[in-house]
Amino acid sequence: MRSRKLFLRTVKRSLKGKEKKQKRKEEQVKLAASQVLVDAANALEDPMSLVVPFKKYDRNGLTVSIDCHKMPECTRDTVDWALSLLSTNMKSLYKQSSWGWKEREKREEITDDRVLLLVARGEDQNPVGFVHFRFDMDFDDEVLYCYEIQLVEEVRRKGLGKFLIQILEMLAYQTQMKKVMLTVFKHNKEANSFFVNQLKYEIDETSPSIYDPMNPEDYDYEILSKPIKKKKTIAAKSE
């Protein structure tokens, strides 16, 4: 009887070991597949070629053209303009946070080789807004992460901001990203209302208020996200 119990314990341990090994293998396969999607998205020469109808915004008395620039190809003038607008719009909000405003870090962040910029230009070809985003892995998920969306005062509240975020969501769909993510300061009431109330973004599972709910005072930001429906494959359509 004792030998039988020992045998059963050994079998159970062996089965558990195999299950863990199989689970690790499945996780590695999923991670590799997610990375392939991110790499493919980053290899696109021009992401806007996937959403050509969105290259122009002509509503509410506003006519704007929208192009996507990979950072290595972005001109110094465009980068300087984007950083200047970011400083004008966000410097005071950063100073109210524990992060503070660090111009050098912001320049390094926006000039990283992985950065993609959507640049909106008016009829005179002067820039009026930009979106800094990246295709990336967030933990084990393939995501499109929006780092910044900034507009000059003259073109706000005319639907352009919503339109630019819709472009991100369409790009995420076309490249099979799992979700669109972004970080927002809690004290930025206007941005919170825009993303949560208008665009229906929700607090992400990776946000501090979810993983560390007992210490809300330690964090002055939330991570928001919106899941993206999977693009149907040809096989799926034929079923």
Query: What integer pLDDT is reported at residue 46 of this predicted model?
Result: 97
Query: What integer pLDDT is reported at residue 1 of this predicted model?
Result: 58
Domain holding 89, by residue range, is: 44-238
pLDDT tens for the chain, 239 residues: list them.
566 666 666 667 776 777 777 777 778 888 999 999 999 999 999 999 999 999 999 999 999 999 999 998 999 999 999 999 999 999 999 999 999 999 999 999 999 999 999 999 999 999 999 999 999 999 999 999 999 999 999 999 999 999 999 999 999 999 999 999 999 999 999 999 999 999 999 999 999 999 999 998 899 999 999 999 987 765 555 44
CB 162 within 8 A of CB 199: yes
> Would residue 119 be called left, alpha or beta, if left means φ above 0 and alpha means ψ between -120 and 50 degrees?
beta
Question: Is residue 31 assigned to a domain?
Answer: no
Question: Is residue 10 assigned to a domain?
Answer: no
What does the block give as tokens for 4? 């039988």
Question: Residue 194 belongs to a domain with what CATH number?
Answer: 3.40.630.30
Q: Backbone phi, then psi, for 30, in 5-degree steps?
A: -65, -45
Query: What integer pLDDT is reported at residue 92 of this predicted model?
Result: 98
pTM of the model: 0.87
Query: What integer pLDDT is reported at residue 238 of this predicted model?
Result: 47
Domains in the chain, number: 1
Question: Is residue 63 assigned to a domain?
Answer: yes
What does the block give as tokens for 112? 């990283």
Question: Is residue 33 assigned to a domain?
Answer: no
CB 59 within 8 A of CB 159: yes
